[in-house]
């Protein structure tokens, strides 16, 4: 398949669990907050099923595992603490998933327009990607605070596509969760799901248009989806 078929296509990537394995640093910050709140730390394997809707929801879910519901002001304080702790060493143990950088290079060489569409805060997303040397590979980084409604709302995906000058009929989402699939498909675009992400369940059950096990397989998946839309 000719990679030039992706020229001008807008490809929006989720961040946590899709581009970057951020679980170790998210868990570090979450553990610190749980310690400060006097609650047990969640097991590391539980974290991957709680990530995807921002720090506030992550803390809510961790507390709920212990049967605790935070009052709004307590949740505000806990979220602020989490952000402060996380930001202080944002990429100490985080790393791009295998093959990410090479895949981004191939897509850029093919003329695709690359964006990040994440429920992480925009400032934290930029800081993380800068720390990992990935920020300059994206024409736009659209976090949850940049839009009125975050994923799974389709307008978040639409905003990322618009930000890179793309069109929905030539746009694709690459993610790891139901929110990614729902956001893209509700906007009228297909979604590729990575099986190694943070879905917290069976990635094959998310309803994705394609699934991949490694970034070496992304180009072929996107080209097949592009051909199907013609």
User: In tens digits, what is the pLDDT along the chain, a chain of 230 residues?
Assistant: 577 789 999 999 999 999 999 989 988 999 999 999 999 898 877 777 777 677 888 899 888 888 988 999 999 999 999 999 999 999 999 999 999 999 999 999 999 999 999 999 999 999 999 999 999 999 999 999 999 999 999 999 999 999 999 999 999 999 999 999 999 999 999 999 999 998 878 999 999 999 999 999 999 999 999 999 87
Asked whether the CA dihedral 103, 109, 113, 116 is positive or negative, the reply is: positive
- In the chain, the domains with their CATH numbers are 3-21+94-228 (3.40.50.1000), 23-88 (1.10.150.240)
- Here the tokens at position 30 are 């979450």
Name the helix (H) or strand (E) containing 85. helix 72-88
pLDDT digits (tens, 9 = 90+) for 122-181: 999 999 999 999 999 999 999 999 999 999 999 999 999 999 999 999 999 999 999 999
Q: Can you tell me the distance from the alpha carbon of 176 to that of 97, in angstroms, rounded to the nearest whole number?
A: 12
Radius of gyration of the chain (CA): 17
Dihedral sign computed on CA atoms, order 185, 114, 156, 151: positive
What is the model's pLDDT at position 1?
A: 56
What letter would DSSP give residue 140? E
Element (H, E) at 116: strand 113-117
According to the model, what pLDDT value does residue 52 have? 64
One DSSP character per residue, 166-198 reads --GGGEEEEESSHHHHHHHHHHT--EEEETTSS
Instruction: Provide the annotated active-site residues.
Output: 14
CB 164 within 8 A of CB 181: no
Calpha distance 12→139 (Å, rounded): 10
Nearest by Cα to 152 from 179, 118, 117:
179
DSSP conformation class of 10: E
């Amino acid at each position: 398949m000719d990679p030039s078929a992706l020229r001008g296509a807008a490809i929006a990537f989720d961040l946590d669990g899709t581009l970057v394995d951020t679980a170790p640093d998210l868990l570090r910050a979450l553990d610190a907050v749980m310690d400060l709140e006097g609650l047990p730390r969640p097991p590391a394997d539980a974290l991957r099923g709680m990530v995807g809707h921002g720090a506030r929801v992550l803390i809510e879910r961790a507390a709920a595992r212990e049967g605790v519901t935070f009052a709004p002001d307590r949740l505000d304080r806990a979220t602020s603490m989490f952000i402060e702790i996380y930001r202080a060493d944002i990429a100490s143990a985080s790393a791009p998933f295998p093959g990410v950088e090479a895949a981004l290079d191939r897509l850029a060489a093919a003329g695709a327009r690359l964006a990040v569409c994440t429920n992480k805060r925009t400032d934290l997303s930029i800081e993380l990607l800068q720390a990992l040397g990935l920020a300059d590979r994206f024409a736009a980084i659209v976090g949850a605070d940049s839009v009125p409604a975050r994923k799974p709302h389709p307008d978040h995906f639409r905003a990322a596509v618009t930000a890179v000058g793309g069109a929905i009929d030539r746009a694709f989402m690459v993610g790891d969760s139901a929110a990614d699939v729902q956001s893209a498909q509700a906007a009228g675009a297909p979604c590729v799901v990575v099986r190694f992400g943070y879905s917290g369940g069976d990635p094959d059950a998310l309803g994705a248009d394609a699934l991949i096990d490694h970034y070496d397989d992304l180009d072929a998946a996107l080209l097949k989806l592009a051909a199907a839309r013609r």
